[in-house]
Amino acid sequence: MEFPQIRLSSERAYLGIRVERGHQSIEQPKAELHIQQPKADMSIKQLPGKLTIDQTNAWQNLGLKSSRVRTEETADHAKRTVLEGTARMAEEGDELMRIENGGEPLADQAARNAIWQFDYPLDGMPVYDLVSIDYQANEPEISFTKNEPVIEAVPQKVRYDYQPRKVEVFMQKYGALDIDFVNLKYKGYRFETEI
């Protein structure tokens, strides 16, 4: 006996996927940087030194003395002369005290004192010490003001490029379904047919 059959034959469908990779690039350009360093403000003030040259001793050594110096020297000379005279008179007094020893002390003293000698010494100074030189230097006044650097920076924007990934889905192969009827008969009203 033959049974009616329905035979199904199918083929799978296949999807295809095509992928294109995305692309991303990031670039950071360097910033524009300008640095300027102004010079420091500096001032130097040098006050002149003080130079003193004293030639008084040189002039006095030549005999060109002021009245004050002459008066002082004359007073010193007179003082020495008085002291020498006092010593001389004391010595002469001692000679007269011993008159009994003989000799002629009065005549000897009169002969010695008959001539008056006046010596006024020049008392010159050494040549190397005649002019005195004195110099007083002044310290320089130094002041400075530093200037801060001038920095100018211009940042650059980031260059960004992005291409997204592309995914394409397509039918690589369509599915198929075959239906086959075996031993299948259609029975209608007064007729029968095979399908």
HEC readout, the chain: CCCCEEEEEEECCEEEEEEECCEEEEECCCCEEEEECCCCEEEEECCCCEEEEECHHHHHHCCCCCHHHHHHHHHHHHHHHHHHHHHHHHHHHHHHHCHHHCCCHHHHHHHHHHCCCCCCCCCCCCHHHCCEEEEECCCCEEEEECCCCEEEEECCCCEEEEECCEEEEEEEECCEEEEEEECCEEEECCEEEEC
Per the CB < 8 A criterion, the answer to whether 70 and 76 are in contact is no
Amino acid identity for residue 60 in this structure: Q
pTM tops 0.85: no
Could you give the CA distance from residue 108 to residue 114 in angstroms, rounded to a whole number? 10
pLDDT at res. 122: 56
Per the CB < 8 A criterion, the answer to whether 144 and 43 are in contact is yes
Averages of pLDDT over each 10 residues, the chain, 195 residues: 79 90 90 92 91 86 82 90 90 85 81 70 63 90 91 90 90 88 72 62
Geometric angle at alpha carbon 29, from 27 and 30, rounded to 5°: 145
Could you give the CA distance from residue 113 to residue 93 in angstroms, rounded to a whole number? 14
pLDDT at res. 64: 81
pLDDT at res. 34: 92
Q: Cα 81 from chain centroid?
A: 72
Scored b (16 or more CB within 10 A) or e, 8-29 reads: eeeeeeeeeeeeeeeeeeeeee
